[in-house]
Amino acid sequence: MYLSFLFGFLAGFLDLSSSFVIAPRAVGPKSSLQALPADDDHDLALMTAFTNRYAKVSNTYMCSEPSVTAVVIKGLADHKATLGAPLCPCRFYEDKEAEVKVGYWNCPCVPMRERHECHCMLFLTPDNAFAGESQEISLEDVKTHGNV
């Protein structure tokens, strides 16, 4: 069963043309002065935007089954909210906080950045049998299909 996940900058502000590692952010209550959606929606929106942008930049496609994509994005968003970084939700970790600091499994993980190998099936190469035709998913589709 695939878990949910995601990342955290607005796609327009992120330069995805070069390799990068997402640095953990401080975890804690958001300022009441910020005009942001509820925490769940905010991190979910960030991870959805990241996924859409990274798929296009990396020339990868989302899974033909939208629930796979949605559940992984939700897992990334959950980790972004609780750990401060989009740790891959499809793996087991003895110590998630330690893994976040190492950064190897923070999305996009090292295998994805180096070899286009996404264990979660979030970013699939065009020749993958499970690759769909889309490089984009809406926030509403993530919310709808992510409740598996």
Q: Which residues are catalytic?
A: 90
Q: Which of 58, 51, 57 is nearest to 138 (CA)?
A: 51
**Terminal CA-CA length for the chain:** 9
In angstroms, the Cα distances linking 20 to 68, 95, 114, 134 are 25, 23, 11, 24
**Rama region for 60: left / alpha / beta (φ>0; ψ in -120 to 50; rest):** beta
To 10 degrees, the CA torsion angle through 35, 70, 24, 8?
-40
